[in-house]
Amino acid sequence: MTYDLLIGDRSYSSWSLRGWLLFAKFDIAATVHDTRFYIPQFQEDLKPFAPARTVPVIRLPEGGIVMDSLAIAETLAERHPDKGYWPEDLEARALARGMVAEMHSGYGALRSACPMNLRQSFVDFPVSDAVAADVARIEQLWAAARALATEGPWLFGAYSVADAFFAPIAARMAGYGLPVSEASKPYIVHTISDPTFLEWRRRGLQDAPQSKYDLPYAAGKWPGPD
Protein backbone atom coordinates (compact mmCIF):
# COMPACT_ATOMS: atom_id res chain seq x y z
CA MET A 1 0.00 0.00 0.00
CA THR A 2 1.12 3.54 -0.68
CA TYR A 3 -0.12 7.10 -0.57
CA ASP A 4 -2.37 8.49 -3.29
CA LEU A 5 -1.77 12.13 -4.22
CA LEU A 6 -4.13 14.19 -6.38
CA ILE A 7 -2.59 17.26 -8.01
CA GLY A 8 -3.69 19.92 -10.49
CA ASP A 9 -2.01 21.62 -13.46
CA ARG A 10 1.75 21.34 -13.02
CA SER A 11 2.51 24.55 -14.89
CA TYR A 12 0.12 26.64 -12.81
CA SER A 13 -0.83 24.98 -9.51
CA SER A 14 1.56 26.28 -6.88
CA TRP A 15 -0.12 24.33 -4.08
CA SER A 16 0.06 21.11 -6.09
CA LEU A 17 3.78 21.71 -6.57
CA ARG A 18 4.19 22.07 -2.81
CA GLY A 19 2.27 18.88 -2.13
CA TRP A 20 4.24 16.91 -4.70
CA LEU A 21 7.59 18.18 -3.40
CA LEU A 22 6.65 16.95 0.07
CA PHE A 23 6.83 13.45 -1.37
CA ALA A 24 9.44 13.73 -4.11
CA LYS A 25 12.11 15.62 -2.14
CA PHE A 26 11.81 13.34 0.87
CA ASP A 27 11.78 10.05 -1.03
CA ILE A 28 8.25 9.06 0.00
CA ALA A 29 6.45 6.91 -2.56
CA ALA A 30 3.05 8.04 -3.81
CA THR A 31 0.74 7.16 -6.65
CA VAL A 32 0.16 10.51 -8.36
CA HIS A 33 -3.21 11.27 -9.92
CA ASP A 34 -3.43 14.28 -12.26
CA THR A 35 -6.38 16.55 -12.82
CA ARG A 36 -6.83 19.96 -14.45
CA PHE A 37 -8.58 23.09 -13.28
CA TYR A 38 -11.52 24.72 -15.07
CA ILE A 39 -12.82 21.54 -16.68
CA PRO A 40 -15.92 19.51 -15.65
CA GLN A 41 -13.76 16.46 -14.95
CA PHE A 42 -12.09 18.27 -12.03
CA GLN A 43 -15.05 17.68 -9.72
CA GLU A 44 -15.24 14.04 -10.81
CA ASP A 45 -11.55 13.55 -10.05
CA LEU A 46 -12.07 14.97 -6.58
CA LYS A 47 -14.87 12.60 -5.64
CA PRO A 48 -12.62 9.69 -4.57
CA PHE A 49 -10.89 12.17 -2.24
CA ALA A 50 -14.02 13.54 -0.56
CA PRO A 51 -14.49 15.72 1.43
CA ALA A 52 -11.62 17.62 -0.27
CA ARG A 53 -12.68 20.59 -2.39
CA THR A 54 -9.38 21.28 -4.09
CA VAL A 55 -5.84 19.98 -4.57
CA PRO A 56 -3.44 18.82 -3.34
CA VAL A 57 -5.06 16.09 -1.32
CA ILE A 58 -3.76 12.70 -0.26
CA ARG A 59 -5.23 9.37 0.71
CA LEU A 60 -3.25 7.58 3.40
CA PRO A 61 -2.28 3.94 2.90
CA GLU A 62 -4.90 3.09 5.54
CA GLY A 63 -7.54 5.02 3.63
CA GLY A 64 -7.88 8.34 5.48
CA ILE A 65 -7.99 11.63 3.56
CA VAL A 66 -5.68 14.55 4.33
CA MET A 67 -6.62 17.88 2.76
CA ASP A 68 -4.47 21.01 2.43
CA SER A 69 -0.72 21.22 1.86
CA LEU A 70 0.10 22.31 5.41
CA ALA A 71 -1.87 19.41 6.88
CA ILE A 72 -0.12 17.09 4.42
CA ALA A 73 3.27 18.41 5.55
CA GLU A 74 2.53 17.88 9.22
CA THR A 75 1.03 14.45 8.61
CA LEU A 76 4.06 13.26 6.65
CA ALA A 77 6.42 14.71 9.26
CA GLU A 78 4.59 12.75 11.97
CA ARG A 79 4.53 9.54 10.00
CA HIS A 80 8.14 9.76 8.78
CA PRO A 81 10.14 11.40 11.58
CA ASP A 82 13.41 10.15 10.10
CA LYS A 83 13.00 12.11 6.86
CA GLY A 84 13.88 15.53 8.25
CA TYR A 85 10.85 17.48 7.16
CA TRP A 86 11.66 20.19 9.72
CA PRO A 87 15.09 21.46 10.84
CA GLU A 88 16.52 19.63 13.84
CA ASP A 89 17.58 22.79 15.69
CA LEU A 90 14.68 24.02 17.82
CA GLU A 91 15.13 27.70 16.96
CA ALA A 92 15.39 26.95 13.25
CA ARG A 93 12.39 24.61 13.43
CA ALA A 94 10.28 27.29 15.10
CA LEU A 95 11.21 29.82 12.43
CA ALA A 96 10.58 27.32 9.64
CA ARG A 97 7.10 26.58 10.95
CA GLY A 98 6.32 30.26 11.24
CA MET A 99 7.56 30.92 7.72
CA VAL A 100 5.48 28.07 6.31
CA ALA A 101 2.39 29.28 8.14
CA GLU A 102 2.90 32.82 6.83
CA MET A 103 3.41 31.49 3.31
CA HIS A 104 0.24 29.45 3.66
CA SER A 105 -1.91 32.45 4.56
CA GLY A 106 -0.03 35.53 3.35
CA TYR A 107 1.49 37.40 0.41
CA GLY A 108 -1.87 37.94 -1.23
CA ALA A 109 -0.65 40.81 -3.40
CA LEU A 110 2.19 38.79 -4.92
CA ARG A 111 0.10 35.68 -5.39
CA SER A 112 -2.77 37.59 -7.00
CA ALA A 113 -0.65 39.71 -9.33
CA CYS A 114 1.81 36.94 -10.23
CA PRO A 115 0.04 33.59 -10.64
CA MET A 116 2.50 30.76 -11.03
CA ASN A 117 3.29 30.04 -14.66
CA LEU A 118 6.18 27.68 -15.31
CA ARG A 119 5.73 27.81 -19.08
CA GLN A 120 7.13 31.31 -19.66
CA SER A 121 8.43 34.48 -18.12
CA PHE A 122 7.05 38.01 -18.44
CA VAL A 123 9.01 41.01 -19.62
CA ASP A 124 8.65 44.47 -18.06
CA PHE A 125 6.12 43.27 -15.51
CA PRO A 126 4.89 46.29 -13.49
CA VAL A 127 5.62 45.74 -9.81
CA SER A 128 3.13 47.40 -7.47
CA ASP A 129 4.07 48.70 -4.04
CA ALA A 130 2.08 45.88 -2.47
CA VAL A 131 3.94 43.22 -4.45
CA ALA A 132 7.27 44.88 -3.63
CA ALA A 133 6.33 44.82 0.05
CA ASP A 134 5.58 41.08 -0.13
CA VAL A 135 8.94 40.47 -1.81
CA ALA A 136 10.74 42.49 0.86
CA ARG A 137 9.05 40.53 3.65
CA ILE A 138 9.92 37.20 2.05
CA GLU A 139 13.53 38.26 1.63
CA GLN A 140 13.63 39.27 5.30
CA LEU A 141 12.50 35.78 6.29
CA TRP A 142 14.89 34.09 3.89
CA ALA A 143 17.77 36.05 5.42
CA ALA A 144 16.67 35.05 8.93
CA ALA A 145 16.56 31.40 7.86
CA ARG A 146 20.00 31.54 6.27
CA ALA A 147 21.38 33.06 9.46
CA LEU A 148 20.34 29.86 11.26
CA ALA A 149 21.24 27.50 8.44
CA THR A 150 23.49 24.52 8.74
CA GLU A 151 25.72 23.59 5.81
CA GLY A 152 23.75 23.33 2.59
CA PRO A 153 22.12 25.52 -0.09
CA TRP A 154 18.53 25.51 1.14
CA LEU A 155 16.84 27.96 3.48
CA PHE A 156 17.95 26.12 6.61
CA GLY A 157 20.83 24.27 5.00
CA ALA A 158 19.16 20.90 4.40
CA TYR A 159 15.94 20.76 2.41
CA SER A 160 12.84 21.23 4.58
CA VAL A 161 9.13 21.91 4.35
CA ALA A 162 10.00 25.60 4.11
CA ASP A 163 11.75 25.03 0.78
CA ALA A 164 8.78 23.11 -0.60
CA PHE A 165 6.46 25.96 0.37
CA PHE A 166 8.65 28.72 -1.03
CA ALA A 167 9.53 26.95 -4.29
CA PRO A 168 6.58 28.50 -6.19
CA ILE A 169 7.51 31.93 -4.79
CA ALA A 170 11.07 31.55 -6.07
CA ALA A 171 9.64 30.56 -9.45
CA ARG A 172 7.41 33.63 -9.48
CA MET A 173 10.31 35.92 -8.57
CA ALA A 174 12.28 34.51 -11.49
CA GLY A 175 9.45 34.32 -14.00
CA TYR A 176 8.14 37.83 -13.39
CA GLY A 177 11.58 39.40 -12.96
CA LEU A 178 10.66 40.73 -9.53
CA PRO A 179 13.22 43.01 -7.86
CA VAL A 180 15.24 40.98 -5.38
CA SER A 181 18.53 41.54 -3.61
CA GLU A 182 21.77 39.93 -4.66
CA ALA A 183 21.61 37.86 -1.50
CA SER A 184 18.37 36.17 -2.62
CA LYS A 185 19.39 35.38 -6.19
CA PRO A 186 21.46 32.23 -5.49
CA TYR A 187 18.56 30.62 -3.63
CA ILE A 188 16.14 31.43 -6.46
CA VAL A 189 18.52 30.03 -9.07
CA HIS A 190 19.16 26.93 -6.98
CA THR A 191 15.43 26.32 -6.55
CA ILE A 192 14.48 26.57 -10.22
CA SER A 193 17.56 24.54 -11.24
CA ASP A 194 16.94 21.70 -8.80
CA PRO A 195 16.50 18.37 -10.68
CA THR A 196 13.27 17.56 -8.84
CA PHE A 197 11.78 20.95 -9.72
CA LEU A 198 12.90 20.46 -13.33
CA GLU A 199 11.20 17.05 -13.42
CA TRP A 200 7.93 18.70 -12.33
CA ARG A 201 8.25 21.50 -14.87
CA ARG A 202 9.09 19.22 -17.79
CA ARG A 203 6.06 17.06 -17.07
CA GLY A 204 3.85 20.14 -16.98
CA LEU A 205 5.07 21.29 -20.38
CA GLN A 206 3.58 18.13 -21.88
CA ASP A 207 0.08 19.40 -21.05
CA ALA A 208 -1.80 21.93 -23.15
CA PRO A 209 -1.57 25.51 -21.83
CA GLN A 210 -4.53 27.09 -20.09
CA SER A 211 -5.51 30.46 -21.56
CA LYS A 212 -6.86 31.61 -18.18
CA TYR A 213 -3.26 32.19 -17.13
CA ASP A 214 -2.40 34.42 -20.10
CA LEU A 215 -1.39 37.92 -19.02
CA PRO A 216 -1.19 41.15 -21.07
CA TYR A 217 2.61 41.41 -20.87
CA ALA A 218 5.36 40.55 -23.29
CA ALA A 219 6.44 36.93 -22.87
CA GLY A 220 10.04 35.87 -22.53
CA LYS A 221 12.02 32.66 -22.24
CA TRP A 222 11.79 30.78 -18.98
CA PRO A 223 14.78 31.99 -16.89
CA GLY A 224 15.82 28.59 -15.57
CA PRO A 225 17.26 25.53 -17.28
CA ASP A 226 15.06 23.37 -19.44
Rounded to whole angstroms, how far apart are CA atoms 138 and 184?
A: 10
pLDDT digits (tens, 9 = 90+) for 115-129: 999 999 999 999 999
Across the range 27-48, mean pLDDT stands at 96
pLDDT at 75: 98
Least confident segment among 69-83, 134-148, 211-225: 211-225
Percentage of the residues of the chain whose pLDDT score is greater than 90: 96
With a cut of 80, say whether residue 92 has pLDDT above it.
yes
Q: Where are the beta strands (DSSP E) in the chain?
A: 3-7, 30-34, 57-59, 65-67, 121-123, 218-220
Better-predicted residue by pLDDT, 214 or 107: 107
pLDDT digits (tens, 9 = 90+) for 163-181: 999 999 999 999 999 999 9
Rounded to whole angstroms, how far apart are CA atoms 204 and 180?
A: 26
Output the CA torsion sign for 169, 175, 176, 179.
positive
Percentage of the residues of the chain whose pLDDT score is greater than 70: 100
What crossing angle do the helices spanning 195-204 and 185-193 adopt, rounded to 10°?
60
Q: What are phi and psi of 95, to 5 degrees?
A: -65, -40
What is the average pLDDT score of the chain? 96
Reported confidence tier of residue 105, pLDDT bands at 50, 70, 90: very high
Rounded to whole angstroms, how far apart are CA atoms 16 and 7?
A: 5
Residue 219 contacts by C-beta under 8 Å, 6 or more apart in sequence? Answer: 120, 121, 122, 123
* pTM to 2 decimal places: 0.97
pLDDT at 226: 87
Across the range 182-198, mean pLDDT stands at 98
pLDDT at 17: 98
pLDDT at 143: 98
Reported confidence tier of residue 59, pLDDT bands at 50, 70, 90: very high
pLDDT digits (tens, 9 = 90+) for 197-210: 999 999 999 999 99
Report all structural domains of the chain as residue ranges with CATH numbers, in order of start: 3-83 (3.40.30.10), 90-213 (1.20.1050)
